[in-house]
Amino acid sequence: MDAIHRQEHACINLEEALLNLGTAIQLLTQFSMDSMLDLLPDNAQADEIMMQHYRDMVKICGSLQLTKENLNTTWNKSYGKGNGGTYWNGDLDDGRPRGNMPYYCPNGWVRFSLNVCSDNNFDKKYSDWGYLYHGTQGKFVGSILTSGLRGSKGLCYCGSEESAVYFSPSIEYSGHPRYSSIEYNPETRKWIQLVLQCRVNPIHIWKIGGETMCCKEFGINVDKNVSNNALEVLIKPNAFEPKTGHKFLRDAVVCTGVMMRVSNKHPLDIDFWWNQSHSYMKRWHLLEFKVDPNLLNEVKRKRYIVSHWKRCDNIRFFFYKAIGDP
pLDDT digits 0-9 by tens, 226-244: 999 999 998 887 777 676 6
Cβ contact 172:6 at 8 Å: no
Q: Which string of b and e fits 193-220 if b means at least 16 CB within 10 Å?
A: bbbbbbbbbbebbeeeeebebebeeeeb
Which residue stretches of the chain have pLDDT < 70? 1-12, 35-46, 49-50, 52-54, 57-72, 138-140, 142-143, 146-163, 241, 243-246, 288-326
For the packed helices 21-39 and 45-63, what is the interaxial angle rounded to 10 degrees?
A: 160
**Residue 156 to residue 250: CA distance in whole angstroms:** 7
Residue whose C-alpha is closest to residue 265's, from 315, 180, 192? 192
Residue 24: other Cβ atoms inside 10 A: 23
Question: In this predicted structure, what is the pLDDT of residue 110?
Answer: 92
How would you classify the pairing of strands 130-135 and 190-200? antiparallel
**Residue 138 to residue 150: CA distance in whole angstroms:** 21
- pTM across the whole model: 0.77
Question: In this predicted structure, what is the pLDDT of residue 115?
Answer: 78
pLDDT digits (tens, 9 = 90+) for 22-45: 788 777 777 777 766 666 666 656
Q: Which string of b and e fits 107-139 if b means at least 16 CB within 10 Å?
A: bbbbbbbbbbbeeeebeebbebbbbbbbbbbbb
**Residue 279 to residue 303: CA distance in whole angstroms:** 39
CA dist 178 → 68, 109, 239, 284, 302 (Å): 34, 18, 29, 8, 34
